With several copies, the nearest count.
Chain A
Amino acid sequence: MDLAFTPEERAFRDEVRAFIADNYPAELRGKQDEGEELGKEDMLSWHRILYRKGWVAPAWPTEYGGPGWSATQRYIFSEELARADTIPVLPFGINMVGPVIYTFGTPAQKERFLPRILSGDDWWCQGYSEPGAGSDLASLRTRAERVGDHYVVNGQKTWTTLAQHADWGFFLVRTDPAAKPQEGISFLLIDMTSPGVTVRPIITLGGEHEVNEVWLENVKVPVENRIFEENKGWTCAKFLLAHERTGIAGVARSKRGIERLKGIARAELDDTGQPLLANPFFRRKVAELECDLTALEFTELRTLAGEASGKGPGPESSLLKVKGTEIQQRITELVLEAVGQYGAPYFRAFPEGSNESPIGPAHAHRAAPTYFNMRKTSIYGGSNEIQRNIIAKMVLGL
């Protein structure tokens, strides 16, 4: 057992760190920290820089454009990204549909879609959830009927993140209504410009337009856009869910979040006028949170090393998801506590393009919306209750 990096690993870390320092766009600095909403071009700019360096898809096999890194290198890379507070590369192409395509797709599908995922030329969204389905994913009702060389798709999807920008979406649809819930499902790639596709915004508690409803009305989808066999889409879905959950602990981001929290608590004053971070009770909350994060970090490291209960990305990633989201939410709770009364003003309501400054300190104006918004993390990707059910069943045998 040894926690130290090898000299090669240290050199790699330095290389990554230097690249970020030299190449991360100046106009994006700080936006992530403050919980600002990002525009489409903001999100794509860093993606394209990483793409040109060959680093945009750390986990992809080299034959499809991955950098061929070890698990430790990937760990270092994600630590460094978080350390520098870069905006995240969107997961829908790189982490979600990409691996499904290179794992289950035909050579033609790979050739057609993978390069444009890497380059960022195609923006992807995920059509999984349906109104009323929630964590019960397999209960989906969107229908796809085969008509010649097309499917005709009808139904409604919801919680579709950033679909307002999307060129393509990957959808779970029911192709055999008579089969059991998890059977009779197929995995389709749908051109979002197809006639019959309508995207409608859902405004969340903080006022953000991040998620959408997607309505599908007699949408024609060529059969060649189906991944894997008809009625076997659940295989792709399960693969993707397991894949999605790796990195969900968010350790590096939460480290950064705690540093930011400490900075805020140094600037804010308590009731006696001393910095809030010197207030014993506030400080204690931070100290406890740091303990929780260290425990999560080492549990993730043990999981990566295959050392924790179970092997490979599977049920133990549920633990990382539960604890990771609890910590992420706790950070936003403490930021909101820290900013006190200036958590109340709602800056978002100002007209766009207004050059008015926020009310109160700059670190305060996104505190409440971010806190509200982060409640989603214990709901999406399988609610934390579902994660506990999974652990009970898969790890404890209950």
Chain B
Amino acid sequence: MDFSFTETQGMLRDSLARYLRERYDFDSRQKMLAMPGGRDPAIWKAFAEELGILGAGFPEEHGGLGGGHVDHMVIMEELGRAIAIEPYLDTCIVGGGALLAAGGDHAATLIPGIIAGDVIIAFAWAEPKSRYNPARIETRATADGAGWTLSGHKSVVIAAPYATHVLVTARTGGASGERDGVSLFLVEAGTAGITRRDYPTVDGWMASELFFERANVGPHALLGAEGQAMGLVDELLDRATAATCAEAAGTMRRLHELTLDYAKQRQQFGQPISKFQVIQHRLVDMLMEAEQAVSMAYQATLRLDLRAAERARAVSQAKAKIAKGARFLGQSAIQIHGGIGITNELAAGHYFKRLTMLESRYGDQDHHLARLEAMMMAEAA
């Protein structure tokens, strides 16, 4: 057993953290949100060109740094600390993961583009009736002479307004809820027949509803075997969930720090509120949730390469625990901040909003507990 980071990982963390401290403070982030398109595209370019982090998880033969899940975790934790609105998870972890799994031309063409910051991939797995179950989808893909034609509605696709490509799940067979018949497509964002309705999210991201109206995505859009994508989709979602855990851990740690600092300077009844024992114990309980979130992010990340059941168990335990802890920590942070915590004026409120969304991203506590219970019963049987 070894819990230490490699030198590369340490440098990755330091350089990203320094960059975000300098260029991604609260005021800068607020300015980005107010830009046309709701973000500053220069940041992503800087990730690629100044920091060179977008290749962290790609093999060297694709021009990457040859890192793995732990490198992703380090990056996500730092992005979480800054509540950065950058599509690293979507593009590098999920999109990149799908390309590496598919291999071939797709990977060879697009991965260098990802690393260069030119290719941004959004992941369209959810639908209006899917809730958190990726197999409950109704979008259809049919093969015709000219490739694949997609029809359906994908919901809350994060980063879709500015993505160059979209990774889409669609049925080539089977009915909603069935695992068989789900296929995975990588399509270009500008394809005819795809319309978007773009909007900001409550936590400052940009997302879209994607409508496929007999969109012909060409013959090469299919990744992997037709109808057999659920194994890969599960794996991609588990990786995304583990990355979300790391992000949430970073957000929780930072929100705890902000709250601790505030409590030390905020005076009430003639003393800093940090002198009140109930505030102290609440801050301690928050710290314990933050530290356990970090532990759980490690745990999930380090088990991503185990067989599917063990991977799923590790990831769902992490997300279930963190979803609960994130809610407690976020609500406590606002309560300790008092009125000012409920305004848009302080960073704390924005961290709270982001944490609230992370609670349910890729499945809320109930979803992941149900997944664990199904495994518990399968083991008992």
Contacts and interface: CB of A to CB of B under 8 A. Distances in A.
Determine whether A and B are in direct contact in the complex, meaning some CB atoms lie less than 8 angstroms apart.
yes
Interface of A: 1-5, 9, 72, 75, 129, 132, 134-136, 139, 158-159, 202-207, 262, 266, 268-273, 277-284, 286-288, 290-292, 294-299, 301-302, 305, 307-309, 316, 319, 322-323, 333, 336-337, 340-347, 349-350, 359-360, 368-369, 371-373, 375-376, 378-380, 383-385, 388-389, 391-392, 395-396, 398
A392 B344 contact: no
A268 B130 CA distance: 10
B296 A295 contact: yes
A284 B132 CA distance: 18
B321 A395 contact: no
B199 A349 contact: yes
A372 B131 contact: no
Contact of A203 (B70, B155, B205, B343): B343
B23 interface: no
22 contacts: A1-B5, A134-B339, A136-B268, A204-B344, A271-B367, A281-B369, A287-B369, A287-B373, A288-B320, A291-B317, A295-B292, A295-B321, A308-B295, A322-B288, A342-B156, A346-B201, A368-B356, A371-B356, A372-B342, A372-B356, A383-B338, A388-B278
B306 to A, nearest CB: 9
B284 A344 contact: no
B295 A295 contact: yes
Given A292-B321, A299-B291, A379 B339 contact: yes
Nearest to B348: A205
B225 interface: no
A372 B201 contact: no
Question: Chain B interface: which size bin?
Answer: 35 or more
A210 B302 CA distance: 42
Given A3-B302, A305-B4, A132 B131 contact: no
Contacts of B299: 294-295, 297-298
B133 interface: yes
B372 A359 contact: no
A163 to B, nearest CB: 15
Interface of B: 1-5, 70, 126, 128-129, 131-133, 136, 155-156, 176-177, 197, 199-203, 205, 207, 209, 260, 264, 266-269, 274-281, 283-285, 287-288, 291-292, 294-296, 298-299, 301-303, 314, 317-318, 320-321, 327, 331, 334-335, 338-339, 341-345, 349, 352-353, 356-357, 360, 364, 366-367, 369-370, 372-373, 376-377, 380
Contacts of A72: 1
B128 A360 contact: yes
Contacts of A136: 268-269
B70 A1 contact: yes
A286 B205 CA distance: 31
A344 B341 contact: no
Given A136-B268, A360-B155, A378-B335, A205 B274 contact: no
Contact of B284 (A9, A278, A292, A392): A392
A346 B298 contact: no
Contacts of A2: 1-2, 302
B343 A340 contact: no
Nearest to B127: A341
Contacts of B1: 2-5, 9, 72, 75, 301, 305
A397 B205 CA distance: 35
Contacts of A207: 344
Contacts of A389: 277, 280
A94 B145 CA distance: 73
